[in-house]
Structure 1
Amino acid sequence: MRRLYISIILTVIGSLFIITWGLDKIVAKQEPEQAQNEYAIYQQLIEGFDSQLSISSTEELATLSEALSEAYQVTLLLDKSENIALPSELSSKLTQMGGLLLASETQPYLLKKLSGHPDYIIQLSLPAVEIENQNINILLTAILYLGVCLILLIWLFPLTRRLYLLTNTAASIGEGHLNARVPASRFSYISLLESSFNRMAAQIEKLVADNKILARSMSHDIRTPMSCLRFGVEAAMDTKDITKKNVYLARMETELTRMEDMTTAFLDYAGMERQGFHLKRELISINHLLETINADFQSLADQHAVILEYQVSAEFIKQDVRLSLDFHWCYRAIQNLLSNAVQYAQSTVTLSAYCQNNFLHICIEDDGKGIPPESIDSIFSPFVKLDADRSRELGHFGLGLAISEKVVHWHDGSIHAKNRAELLTSTMKNAKETTQLIKEVTGACFIISLPLQAEKKIL
């Protein structure tokens, strides 16, 4: 911070010095012209004296020059030309209009050779130039520079304070405190940088947390197939029965397949963060996307004896809402939610969409047993499985909802889950009617909310 202060102050002070030095040079060049303008009246006056003295006789010159000096209240002297020692280039200017302007140590004066008497020269003393007080100038200059420095320090203090906090926060994150953030301030000059830094820190914290969960889950889940493989190897080596040996080898192959599927799923999830930087966005009709997903999942719904319905209003279809999305990943996010809904539903799964408060809301509802209230906050965490029956041996690793949340986050949206009974409680006003319906209604509802951007089109 000290280097920042010094560099800015030196830059500003140096700039002021160069600017004032240049202005002084310009003023110095203009001073002779200003002096000529100030003494123009005296040059006219000496021309008048020359006219009057030139028509007089030589004997009357001294008396007339004294009379003119008293009449005009000026100092007018008469002298012989031979008594004035001047260089030849200046001597030639004694006859010019307005005379020759010279200056002594005390005051300036004009010299003029009389037109009618070339042997004589008149000298007209001019008012003395007022010498400016140099001490006051120095004091004012010092006040100027000190004032500029003080203003700079006042302006720099909030900036350097925020930079200091940013540096400390970065150092704290480097030491392992991943939850450290730069506190927000409306007086900050670098609020955009601070918000970007906080977003980066949040992404790093989430990435590290996901990697820890991944490592912990893999280390836990890989032990069972490893133990089965070791048991199978030992059993195959000990038995001499070819049939049993083949059975053990078949089991080992099955366990290897499960390990391969598990590792592939875990590594795919770990590499998803890179996919978020390479989205292939395009304008997509939301109604077309949902109709496609609904048609593709009819066969899965038939396998589970579930009715899959797509419900939207005629107005929504007419609006033809279009958003800039990655079709593949959005399809996959909704697919994960629909797959869970179809497998948990008793008879019906509903896919719907509507626009409200500048957001597009996509809802997936089922009439299954719902979500335990204590698990709603953690349902989108990776490797979380609410149903113990859906084991990893069947290919369920608890990543579907986590992937959906990531995809929605990539598109600046949000996703949350509620039980259908909870939704009814927030919409129904009649307490008795609500209580009766809650007893009858079961199932879960997942809602994806995406911001309506400028790409939205209303046809």
Structure 2
Amino acid sequence: MRHLFIKFYLLVMACFMVAVVLVGWVYKDTAERAGNRYLERMMQGSLDLLTSELAHKPQTAWPQRLSEQSRQLSLPLHVGALADQPLGEEDLDFLRGGNIVIVEEDDTFRQLIPGSDQVLIVGPVPYLSYLHELHWLDIGLLLLLGLSLALPILLWLRPHWRGLLTLEQTARRLGRGDLSARSRLPASSSLARMGQTLDLMAEQLEALINGKKQLTDAIAHELRTPLVRLQYRLALLEPAPAEADRQALERDLAALDTLIDEMLTYARLDRPEMPLHPTDLELGEWARRHLPDWQALCPGKPIHLCGPSEPLPWRGDERLLTRAVENLLRNALRHATQRVELHLAAERDHLLIEVQDDGSGIAPQHAEHIFEPFVRLDESRDRRTGGTGLGLAIVRSIARHHGGEASLVASRSGARFRLSLPRR
């Protein structure tokens, strides 16, 4: 709120000061100029008489006459040389013409004594000094008025800010997967319509996610039951089919079972409210522990583990991380020619898990599309090598649930997939 208040207050103050400057300029150009002319006319008669009288007296008699006149006017009077006056050339010419000049710097009136190079100086004049003090008083009052604007601005801004905070907190809760979050702003709030729109969106989102969850659960139930029946009937089929036909049927049933499992896994990961079960891991020890299981996926293509000597501590969901790396290794083993490499590394505030194969590689233009669900490249659609099209989508979803990212990085040969996870 502080930043919003400061910005809004500065904007109001800037507009206020511009208005004050314009008003002050108009006042100075009209009222103040008129006041100075009035003062000049008031003093013109008295000073003309005095300077004319001094012009007809010798300069030795001036001090006594000035002293007498000073007592009568209650103003200091003295003379000075014309050349010593702190005036510009234009004011000096004006003074030589017999006119009165007001010097604001010392609050004095000045008039040239006829027939001499001496100037009669009257002042400081208390009225002029008062005008200067009043000028500073005006500035002080304007500043006080500007500061006093802070209170009404704060009172006006506070309920708006509280409404914005409520909307922000509601949006954050929705982003974390709490689909029951609602702003429920009162009707008197200036942001009530925005809050109602956000609440309506949250209700529709909750209904959509719940419907998707119910659909996924229904598909799991409806598909797995006939799949188990098919497997059971295949085992009891009489007469038994040829061995090649039986193996082909078992492969198709296994592929269908894998597809259902992948679909259910992706559906669970696609829910923003999916909870994580974090544990503390050391990635090097974790990889060595699972390496035999990963190698069993394809014993004919060795998996080489490459990692730093120092520990790589990480906190996250071990089950999901294992699933993500297994999907990457399955994909690499499927397309590798001879071997696959699993690299573990640390980079600033992230830990990197990279899987490299020595296959034909992937064109750069496909780098983003391959992480979309059910997207497979044309060359991978062969029944012998093509997967379900959900493996890499699951990997990216797991990475993003942990605040990381999955990507395809440039490689001299084959494909190199990177799983970037934040240290925490």
TM-score > 0.5, shorter chain as reference: no
Q: Give 1 or 2 for the bigger CA radius of gyration.
A: 1
TM-score (norm 1): 0.40
